[in-house]
């Protein structure tokens, strides 16, 4: 074994130890001694899958280790399983899995780390002092995930939310929990439109009587009106209230004739 063997012997972990080099245990073939790290004699082994791993000699002889871990993990299908914020989307090699975090990040993790307790891509640790609002509803808003680069104090944390109308926006925790923000703004626009409809419907401006609301054109509320001449016309609310529109146009025609 040369210098490496002599170095390992100097650790005194390999004194009076049977040379395991070349021996085979399950899928493992012993290549050389490995530093003991204070855990007794350890051996560098190559697995049939191609991986190398350092294994305690006692575990080899007792039959506790027969592979690098691939023999066990190869038979475990994790696709679709959830571990905290992580969802396994694909088994890419026998002992690794492609995962999607709830924050949207994709990453590859050892299956063993998932079983041992890995629960996020790191965003969970970053937001350890932030109260998790994911999945909660506030008015028309559903919290989707914590915004990347969000401040860690709970009241200042920023959340990506989806409104019932389909719009996504970023809202502060304090605005959600206080009830200050309940939508992307569509709720306020609807309430404003309803208020104006209540005021304008049935009102009379010159020869025009407001019948109902009309589809907005992006420049304010519009109203369907019936003129005294029998025609109907769509007029902007501001034009009605300012007195700019008083008829469907028949009043101007009459004035011109006169």
The DSSP output letter for 135 is T
pLDDT of residue 97: 86
Q: How far is CA 107 from CA 83, 122, 143, 147, 231, in A?
A: 13, 11, 23, 18, 65
Query: Which candidate, 203, 213, 206, places its Cα nearest to that of 248?
Result: 206
**Residue spans per domain, the chain:** 3-72, 77-124, 132-184, 195-257
**How far apart are the C-alpha atoms of 209 and 203, rounded to whole Å?**
6
**How far apart are the C-alpha atoms of 258 and 252, rounded to whole Å?**
10
The DSSP output letter for 27 is T
pLDDT of residue 35: 79
Lowest mean pLDDT among 3-12, 71-80, 213-222: 3-12
pLDDT of residue 20: 83
**How far apart are the C-alpha atoms of 194 and 63, rounded to whole Å?**
76
Residue 21, pLDDT > 80, answer yes
Residue 146 pairs in a beta bridge with 159
pLDDT of residue 129: 55
The Cα diameter of the chain in Å comes to 126
pLDDT of residue 4: 53
Taking the CA atoms of 129, 130, 134 and 138 in sequence, report the sign of the dihedral they define: positive
Q: What is the percent of the chain with per-residue pLDDT over 90, rounded to a whole number?
A: 12
- The per-residue pLDDT of the chain, averaged, comes to 79
pLDDT grade, residue 2 (50/70/90)? Answer: very low
Per-residue pLDDT of 84-101, as tens digits, reads: 889 999 887 667 888 988
> Average pLDDT, stretch 177-200?
72
Per DSSP, the three-state class of 197 is helix
Per-residue pLDDT of 202-257, as tens digits, reads: 889 899 999 888 777 666 778 889 999 999 999 888 888 888 888 998 888 777 76
Residue pair 13/40 in contact (Cβ under 8 Å)? The answer is yes
Residue pair 101/107 in contact (Cβ under 8 Å)? The answer is yes
The more confident residue out of 160 and 94 is 160
Per-residue pLDDT of 30-71, as tens digits, reads: 998 887 766 678 888 998 878 888 888 888 888 888 888 776
For 225, other C-beta atoms within 10 Å of its C-beta total 26
Residue 148, pLDDT > 80, answer no
The more confident residue out of 12 and 83 is 83
pLDDT grade, residue 155 (50/70/90)? Answer: low
Residue pair 97/82 in contact (Cβ under 8 Å)? The answer is no
């Amino acid at each position: 074994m040369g210098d490496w063997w002599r170095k390992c012997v100097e650790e005194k972990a390999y004194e009076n130890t049977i040379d395991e080099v070349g021996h085979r245990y399950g899928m493992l073939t012993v290549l050389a001694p490995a530093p003991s790290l204070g855990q007794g004699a350890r051996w560098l082994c190559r697995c049939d899958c191609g991986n190398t791993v350092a294994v305690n000699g006692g575990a080899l002889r007792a039959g506790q280790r027969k592979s690098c871990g691939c023999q066990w993990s190869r038979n475990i299908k994790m696709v679709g399983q959830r571990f905290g914020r992580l969802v396994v989307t694909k088994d890419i090699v026998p002992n690794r899995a492609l995962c999607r975090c709830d924050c949207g990040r994709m990453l590859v993790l050892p299956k063993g780390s998932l079983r041992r307790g890995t629960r996020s891509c790191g965003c969970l640790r970053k937001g350890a002092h932030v109260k998790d609002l994911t999945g909660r509803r506030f008015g028309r808003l559903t919290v989707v995930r914590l915004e990347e680069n969000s401040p860690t104090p709970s009241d200042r944390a920023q959340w990506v939310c989806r409104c019932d109308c389909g719009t996504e926006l970023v809202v502060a925790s304090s605005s959600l929990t206080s009830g200050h923000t309940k939508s992307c703004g569509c709720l306020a626009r609807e309430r404003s439109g309803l208020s104006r409809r209540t005021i304008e419907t049935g009102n009379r401006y010159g020869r025009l009587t407001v019948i109902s609301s009309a589809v907005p054109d992006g420049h304010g509320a519009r109203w369907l009106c019936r003129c005294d001449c029998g025609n109907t016309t769509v007029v902007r609310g501001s034009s009605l209230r300012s007195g700019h529109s008083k008829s469907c146009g028949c009043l101007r025609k009459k004035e011109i004739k006169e």
